[in-house]
Amino acid sequence: MRRILILGGTRFFGKRLVQKLLDNGDDVTIATRGETDDPFGDDVQRRKVDRFSRDSMEQAFSGDEEWDLIYDQICFSPDEAQDACELFKYRVKKYILTSTLSVYNFDNKAKKEEKDFNPYDCQIKYGRKEKFSYGEGKRLAEAVLFQNARFPVMAVRPPIVLGRDDYTERLHYYVRKVLSEEVIGLDSTERKASFVESEDLAQFLFWAGFKEDFTGPVNASSPDQLSLKNILGIIEGKTGKAAKVAPPDGTVESSPMNFPVSIYQDVSLAEAAGYKFKKLAEWFEPLTEWIVKEEKAKQG
């Protein structure tokens, strides 16, 4: 039985990952601030910790216990990454950081892992998460782990994650706007992006936990992309209503996913290692249809 620690894991794809580990018979500990309910009952062990506090991390993990695998869902800065390097030194066989597509600088080209952001030669600056933007904090967290850790590290870089239980409700936002015939603030509908389905991402993280020699940064998304025009067209087809779009100004708010350029990535590295992500055609339209039904039901 593997001993697995998850820093986070109480919502969205993190919950799905925990369930997969439990179904596999793993001994799972989830470490959070204890503010979010989870459905796992006595099937998991819990440890209360503030991931962003060094003192709290030291108190929670002061012993000499060892882990087969650690998933870090809530590391957002170089200092938090350095805490992990020191606290888990020689105590874990593999460490999987949930990073982000936002580590890249975008220029309308598909991004590859070390070619477009190499954390092994990134100059490190230290600080807590308040000091950095989301993307910069993740870049520096990767750099610290890959350069300083004395255990094998993988940094998984997902793009926008979508699913029925997406607490950010980005796709829900567009469906609501179309159903209510409100204007959607977009500078361009031609820009395209990578997406990953929450269940697929959880499955990839689960799968990666068995690949001891598969380390380093790795992109994680559907292999194809959608433009905002594609997305609106799918929503129009499911709702029977036309989307109204205008550039953001003083009266029209900028919408989620109002990308300045196309933001997408190449997933050939993961595929070469043996994982096949679901194509968008397999899950995006069914998800949109489900959201449309839910939103229509709310409207009565």
List, for residues 7-38, the tens digit of each pLDDT value. 998 889 999 999 999 999 999 999 998 888 88
Question: For the chain, what are the domain ranges?
Answer: 3-159+197-219, 162-195+223-262+278-299
Q: Of 42, 31, 38, nearest to 72 (Cα)?
A: 31
- The helix (run of H) or strand (run of E) holding residue 97 is strand 95-98
Q: Of 212, 214, 209, nearest to 272 (Cα)?
A: 214
Give the separation between CA 23 and CA 39, rounded to whole angstroms: 14
CATH fold, domain 3-159+197-219, is Rossmann fold (3.40.50)
Question: Using alpha carbons only, how large is the chain's radius of gyration in Å?
Answer: 20
pLDDT in tens, 224-233: 999 999 999 9
The residues facing 6 across adjacent strands are: 30, 71
Cβ distance 30 to 36 under 8 Å? no
DSSP annotation of 92 reads: B
- The pLDDT assigned to 97 comes to 98
216: Cβ contacts below 8 Å, ≥ 6 apart = 113, 114, 146, 153, 154, 155
The CATH class for the domain spanning 162-195+223-262+278-299 reads alpha beta
Provide the whole-model pTM: 0.95
